[in-house]
Structure 1
Amino acid sequence: MFVIFGATGRVGGAAAAELRRRGLRVKAVVRDAAQGARLAQLGCELATADLNDSRSVARALEGAEGALVLCPLRPSEAPRAEALRIIDSLGEAIEASRPRAVVAISDYGAHLPTGTGITLIFHQLEARLREAPTAMTFLRSAEHMHNWKRHVRAARERGVLPSLHHPVTRRFPTVFAPDVGLVAADLLASAEGNAKQARVVHVEGPRRYSAQDIAEVLARHLGRPVVAEELARERWEPTLAPAGLGEEYARLVAELQDAHNAGRIEVEAGAGEVRRGTTELAEALR
């Protein structure tokens, strides 16, 4: 039995579907059973759990040969405090239920202890889950391609793609979220029961893209010229916060972007392999 948290999302949903395609038993964990109709049609068993409640998480993990866990980042007023509660809950539940293997979704740059904004949450996730008595794999995901959808309106209406990536010609790792789920499923299906040392795997797309590349893809899809423009640093947080992210979340995203532009958000040198999704940006944004 493989237990998938976040099964209604892009990553967890793809992982659940792939494991079922391989004929494996899957328990899909959702917040509300009403969300699980599509998963039930795939043949998944359904369970409900609150990630803030370690006992309900442990109950969902009962009988698990392997599990996919994640810490969702919500644009709340206190995203870090909320995430740390979930991380502690996951750690306690894994220690109580002891699945043979766990794949935890992490982030590029999670090995860095300072200066990475929102990614520091994943540094803390990895530190906490390394204590668990299970074969642990941290699947560090590159930036998701679908994050650029928030700029489609500006591209369509004004022919501009505002970018926090500076310069707009610098290529960075990015990945189609369902491809992360496919890699996670493969890691779970082939996991070995070695709890002595955590494994680190990075996942990004078939190639890297710049903001200029993304503007060109959008131009083809929209049928109009689109130009990538650097958004001035002083405008980052005032632009992000009113968009529903909240003041603290906007600050943490801006700090992460500073680290990106300094070239710090990369594959950890000498630690872990790199796997590549197959979905190109044009297909992801179509």
Structure 2
Amino acid sequence: MSRTRLSKVLVFGATGAQGGPVVRQLLARGVEVRAVTRDPRKLDSLFGGGVERATADLGDLAALRTAFRGVDTAFFHLPIPRDLVAVPVHLANVLEAAGQAELSRLVFTTSGISTEQMPSNGFVQASRAAAAAVLASGIPAVVLRPTIYLENLLAPHLVAEMSESGVLRYPPVNPKRRLSWTALEDQAALAIAAMTADGIVGRAIDIASPEALTGNELAARLSVYLGREVRFAPQTPLRFGEEFGRAYDNLALGRGIAELYEAIDQLPPDGAVIAPDPILTALASELTPVSQWIAKQRWVSVVA
């Protein structure tokens, strides 16, 4: 079911939401990690001296070549872009450096839902183009396509609104839309499984945590742990995108995010419900159902 043991893994975004869980889980397995970061102090505070540092900007091909030197596997995702024009350049740099390193496996996440059924728009096209570039690079690669991240629910303004007003406005989709969600720890477990699994190179695989829910069902589960009734009253995708764009000072990115959620609501009734991949789930540790993930969070401390 899997190839030889991992030797040294290069993890991009090691201090961030996606890379951090990958680093933690690799270290727990005794795997050597080289972490790419622009914040060495944060890296040290999170992992102490347990990881090797690599400082590399995605626009610096020479630094990327150095970061990839001597590793056999890598985990990569594109960060939220400040400059949309730079994204394909950054991806091309990473793929060139990875190709020269002769990796055994590259695992790339699209950072958002882009199933085959998704209607085409700017956001979905960009995600598909990135995935296609990775798979066409000649590197033994696997693309993971997560759904919506559960950790988005921990945004302080969302938790405050649920706690104070009993209203959940996210995600901006029809209340009857059933969705699979993805916990970042589950994504990390599946990414590590993808680093060694046989029979999946060259594939783009949809991933999610167990338990697809409607917005109303999600609000009911959140009510239990927030100590008050929560009702689901979603924003429109357009309004959500505008707020997102202002938060990141990037209105074009906000429009792309709005398009993503508009596309989700154009899917067939179960088009955002993801079936588990049998190869990856056989190798990954037990995944966390949404209800269990909700129960594990410290909701009060988020807004304290």
Compute the TM-score of the two structures, normalised by the length of structure 1. 0.84
Q: Pick closer, same or farther for the CA change 1:206–1:227 going to 2, 3 Å.
A: same
2:208 corresponds, among 186, 204, 208, to 204
Query: Match of 1:105, as an amino acid?
Result: T
Instruction: Give the letter for the 1:129 counterpart.
Output: V
Kept in 2, the 8 Å contact 1:28–1:39? The answer is no
- 2:211 and 2:289 in contact (8 A); partners too: no
Which residue identity does 2:105 align to in structure 1? A
Whole-angstrom CA distance in 2 between matches of 1:24 and 1:199? 24
**1:226 corresponds to 2:236:** no
Shift of the 60–191 alpha-carbon distance from structure 1 to 2, 3 Å rule, reads: farther
After alignment, is 210-219 or 2-11 more displaced?
210-219
Give how far 1:61 is off: 0.7
Aligned residue in 1 for 2:132 = 127
Distance 1:285 1:208, change over 3 A: farther
Aligned residues: 279
The match for 2:63 among 41, 56, 69 is: 56
SS of 1:10's equivalent?
A: coil
Structure 1 position 10 matched with structure 2 position 17: yes
* Matches for 1:171-190 after TM superposition, within 5 Å: 171-188=178-195, 190=196
Gapped regions of structure 1 (runs ≥ 5): none
Partner residue of 1:277 out of 275, 284, 287: 287
Residues 118 and 149 from structure 1, CA distance in 2 versus in 1: closer, same or farther, beyond 3 angstroms? farther
Report the structure, 1 or 2, having the larger strand content: 1
Partner secondary structure for residue 103 of structure 1: strand
Check the 8 A contact 2:135/2:142 in 1, yes or no: no
Alignment of structure 1 residues 1-286 onto 2, 5 Å: 1-38=8-45, 40-41=47-48, 43-74=50-81, 76=82, 78=83, 80-106=84-110, 107-109=112-114, 111=116, 115-150=120-155, 151-188=158-195, 190-191=196-197, 198-232=202-236, 235-244=239-248, 246-263=250-267, 266=272, 275=281, 277-280=287-290, 281-283=293-295, 285-286=297-298
Unaligned runs of 5+ in 2: 1-7, 299-304
1:139 alignment partner, SS class? strand
Contact 1:176–1:284 (Cα < 8 Å) also in 2: no
8 Å CA contact 2:123–2:256 kept in 1: the answer is yes
The residue number in structure 1 matching 2:301 is none
- Give the letter aligned to residue 283 of structure 1: A
CA distance in 2, matches of 1:120, 1:283: 36
TM-score (norm 2): 0.80
Q: Distance in 2 between matches of 1:10 and 1:245?
A: 20
SS of equivalent to 1:50: coil
CA pair 46-166 structure 1, distance change in 2 beyond 3 A: closer
Between the aligned partners of 1:40 and 1:257, the Cα distance in structure 2 is 35
CA–CA distance in 1 between the matches of 2:28 and 2:140? Answer: 24
**Is the alpha carbon distance of 1:148 and 1:105 closer, same or farther for their aligned partners in structure 2, counting shifts above 3 Å?**
same
**Cα distance in 1 for residues equivalent to 2:174 and 2:140:** 40
Q: Distance in 1 between matches of 2:228 and 2:132?
A: 47
The separation in 1 between residues aligned to 2:209 and 2:94, in whole angstroms, is 28
Larger mean CA deviation between 110-119 and 222-231 belongs to: 110-119
The residue identity in structure 2 corresponding to 1:94 is A
CA distance in structure 1 between the aligned counterparts of 2:215 and 2:118, rounded to whole angstroms = 27
Contact map agreement 1:10 1:181 (CA 8 A) in 2: no
